Amino acid sequence: ESLHMGCVSFTRRFFPDGAITEERFNDAVSAASQELLNIESNYKKLGWVNVVGSSGTIRAAEQALVENGWEAEGITASGLKKLRKQMLQYATVDDVALPGVKPERRQVFIGGLAILTAVFNIFEPERMIYSDGALREGALWDLTGRSAHENVRQRTVDGMCERFYVDQAQAERVKDMALAMFRQVKGDWKLDGMAEAFLGWAAQLHEIGLAISHSSFHKHGAYLLQHADMLGFTRQGQAKLAALVRSHRRKLNDELFAEVAAARQPVAMKLSRLLRLAVTLNHSRGAYPVPVPELISLDKKLTVKMPDGWLEAHPLTTRDLMAEVAAQNSAGFEVEIL
């Protein structure tokens, strides 16, 4: 449905001289709510599983919530209340200086926030996720999706692997190993299906940086994932993938996960530890079979048990494992190889 309301028109209508007051904001919310009443019953009767928002106001709102530490990703009713409280502290639209809201968006953000507040008041979604795509991209994907029932994110990952000439055999070896280890610790580490999916995607993409250079390819890969157009992924999702690829080799520390929302950093770090082990164990790139180790987790300590005699028979891989133990230990995680 298309309704006649937007951030620019509502800002001009309810804040004509730029002054921000609680009364004006409430009037704007009420006007938006009246527009939404025309479609409320049909949408509530239909229902929904996921709520996705796009375009400037929603992007600015999500970014403000993330940068202020009020949400890890997306928009909630409680988050909007915090934004409302913060916005009402400004006297005029010219005074708005909200982290995450770009300067060119600040003067009309108040109108968009009122509309977004009305949407949450009327439809009561638990969370709205921001999407870079808008109506035209959605229409195109809807048309293709009806004839090809595919997971859009998996299709995006597969497309990037092809585009950047990823060694598919090596990627699959690392992915299979990482997911096999994941299944052993997911209960103790309290990891869910989404974490498993991200670990698999990161394993597939961990070498895309080689298309640019062999030197520091993990950094190049992270840059590509951070800035590429990845249909199906939110910006926070891309940030998590980028952090996993960036951290899959060399140093491991908290700074590598700075772009990931604070609430999601612990899980991302755990996934990185598994990916690093999978990459290390498959350093030979299929030159010889590598068994899946037995993992035993206890708090931050992780014991990696290989079959009897295997380490002695493969000294180069053993040396790589010892270097990985040192890297994880320096990051505050105890790892033991048996």
Q: What is the pLDDT of residue 13?
A: 95
* Lookup result for tokens 């990703």: 73
Are residues 263 and 156 both part of a single domain?
Answer: yes
Query: pLDDT for 293-333, tens place per residue?
Result: 999 998 778 999 999 999 999 999 999 999 999 999 999 99
Checking if the pLDDT of 149 tops 50, the result is no
Is 329 among the domain residues?
no
> pTM score, two decimals?
0.68
pLDDT at 11: 95
Query: Residues 187, 79: one domain?
Result: no
Residue 304 lies in a domain: no
Q: What is the pLDDT of residue 50?
A: 87
Q: In what order do the strands lie in the sheet with 294-298?
A: 294-298, 301-305, 335-337
Q: Are residues 159 and 271 in the same domain?
A: yes
Same domain, 23 and 108: yes
pLDDT of residue 127: 94
Q: Is residue 305 part of a domain?
A: no
Kindly indicate the confidence band of residue 140, based on its pLDDT and cuts at 50, 70 and 90.
Answer: confident
Q: What is the CATH number of the domain that holds 177?
A: 1.10.3210.10
The structure tokens 């638990």 sit at: 126
Whether residue 282 sits in one domain with residue 159: yes
**21 and 125 assigned to the same domain:** yes
Instruction: List CB contacts of 219: < 8 A, sequence separation 6 or more.
Output: 209, 246
β-bridge partners, 11: none
pLDDT in tens, 223-257: 999 999 898 888 889 999 999 999 999 999 999 99
Average pLDDT, the chain: 92
**Between 48 and 118, the higher pLDDT residue:** 118
120 plus 172 within the same structural domain: no
Residue 105's CATH number = 3.30.420.150
Instruction: Identify whether residues 164 and 281 lie together within a single domain.
Output: yes
- Whether 328 maps to a domain, the answer reads no
Both 173 and 50 in a single domain?
A: no
Q: Which amino acid is located at 9 in the chain?
A: S
Question: Which residues sit opposite 294 in a β-bridge?
Answer: 305
Whether residue 160 lies inside any domain: the answer is yes
Domain-embedded: residue 206: yes
Task: Retrieve residue 246's tokens.
Answer: 């960036």
Pick the closest to residue 203 from 232, 254, 166 (CA basis).
166
Q: Is the pLDDT of residue 148 over 60?
A: no
Question: Alpha helix locations (H) across 190-305?
Answer: 193-205, 217-227, 235-246, 265-281
98-127 pLDDT, tens digit each:
988 999 899 999 999 999 999 999 999 999
> What tokens were used for 145?
């999706």
Q: Is pLDDT of 79 > 50?
A: yes
Residue numbers of the domain that contains 23: 7-131
Among the candidates 250, 270, 291, a domain finishes at 291
Q: Which of 259, 275, 291 is the last residue of a domain?
A: 291
Residues 73 and 131: their CA atoms lie apart, in Å, by 11
Tally of domains in the chain: 2
Q: Are residues 174 and 284 in the same domain?
A: yes
Does the residue 333 lie in any domain? no
Shared-domain flag, residues 121 and 164:
no
Distinct helix (H) and strand (E) counts, the chain: 14, 5
In a domain, 336, yes or no: no
Residues 156, 98 share a domain: no
Task: Kindly tell me if the per-residue pLDDT of 36 is higher than 80.
Answer: yes
